[in-house]
A = this chain, B = another copy of it.
Amino acid sequence: MSPDRLSVVFAALADPTRREILVQLSHGSRSVTELAAPHAMSLPAISKHLRVLERSGLIARERAAQWRPCRLQAAPLKEAVDWIGQYRRHWEERLDRLDDYLQELQAKSGQPTRRKSRAS
């Protein structure tokens, strides 16, 4: 069921090897062999990781002779960061305290815990 772009991007980021590859690419274009070097796994395994990254839009590949250099495409990272951004206020501003207090009140006020409008 064609997963949405955001899911594909987060899934691509959910693997340490792939995140490491992105770090490598943040310093410039690299060939597949160069990317594979630091990782303790076979070339085909890296090739699969690159395909995942490519499908997610996080990298692009050119063709130069027998090499297929990869380069970073950061645009999808902005989408990801924007999505997470909706929660910024939840970890900033130290309203965590207040929040906890309100949750506590709701939790003890009988019914499950409903929407704000019913909280009082």
Binding site for B on A (CB under 8 A): 3-4, 6-8, 10-11, 13-16, 19, 22-23, 26-31, 33-34, 62, 64, 67, 69, 71-72, 74-75, 77-78, 80-81, 83-88, 90-91, 99, 102-103, 106-108, 112-116, 119
This protein's copies in its complex: 2
- Cβ-defined partner of A84 (8 Å) among B7, B31, B80, B113: B80
Cross-chain contact B87 with A77 (CB below 8 angstroms): yes
Interface of A is mostly: helix
CA distance A71 to B87 in the complex (A): 13
Cross-chain contact A26 with B78 (CB below 8 angstroms): no
> Residue on B with the closest CB to A58?
B87
Cross-chain contact B6 with A113 (CB below 8 angstroms): no
14 new A-B pairs (CB below 8 Å) besides A10-B13, A74-B91?
A7-B14, A23-B86, A26-B86, A27-B115, A27-B116, A33-B112, A64-B112, A67-B113, A69-B107, A71-B99, A77-B84, A77-B91, A80-B84, A81-B88
